[in-house]
Amino acid sequence: MDSVTTHPFLSFAPAMPQARADTRDALVGFFQDFGFTGRGDLERLASWVLGVRELSLSPEAALALARWRVEGWLAEVLGPSHVGPSLLVRGRAAFVLVGGARWGADVLMREPRALPEAWRRAVCEAVPMAAPSEMPCQMREQVLVLNPFMDMVRRWLRPASRQADVSPSR
């Protein structure tokens, strides 16, 4: 039986705590970046992040909590060699490359140790290499050539003019 009571003039339901719509939308967008598209999966992941106690979180706080939870999961899956400031970015790329979202929301909600070893190894192998850090260096001097064709003709004709200058004089 439904817990909603209907009266000809009144309709009410017991107050159930609901997450803010903008918070849920932010979490849905976050998990869509991981390749999840099914509404059920997205709702389960949002509930996984929010839990029961955190229903009034702002979108920023909910995203910070989602990043923290997913980074913790990725750190366990990928191991200590990949932990660092780019863990979430590189881990998300690897997750998308192996099609992790095809496993459904359960893949992120399970303990990484419970996942098949072959799948964990595939995720580790799919992690893109980190880009080298920026280092200041001196740039070579560059020459601006407005008309490359004329510059080529000029260089081609230049040796001929030098040979004329070297000719024996009378």
**What pLDDT digit, counting tens, does each position of 105-141 carry?**
888 888 888 888 888 888 888 888 877 777 888 888 8
Distances (CA, A) of 108 to 16, 24, 117: 26, 17, 15
The answer to whether residue 121 sits within a structural domain is yes
pTM above 0.75, yes or no: no
- pLDDT category of residue 168 using cuts at 50, 70 and 90: low
Range of 33's domain? 16-126
In three-state form (DSSP H/G/I as H, E/B as E, the rest C), the secondary structure along 20-67 is CHHHHHHHHHHHHCCCCCCHHHHHHHHHHHHCCCCCCCCHHHHHHHHH
Look at the chain and report how many structural domains it folds into: 1
Mean pLDDT across 150-168: 69
**What pLDDT digit, counting tens, does each position of 4-42 carry?**
444 444 444 443 345 577 888 888 899 998 889 889 889
The answer to whether residue 2 sits within a structural domain is no
Cβ–Cβ under 8 Å, residues 64 and 54: no
The answer to whether residue 141 sits within a structural domain is no
The answer to whether residue 119 sits within a structural domain is yes
Cα–Cα distance, 40 to 137 (Å, whole number): 51
Neighbours of 41 (CB within 10 A): 22
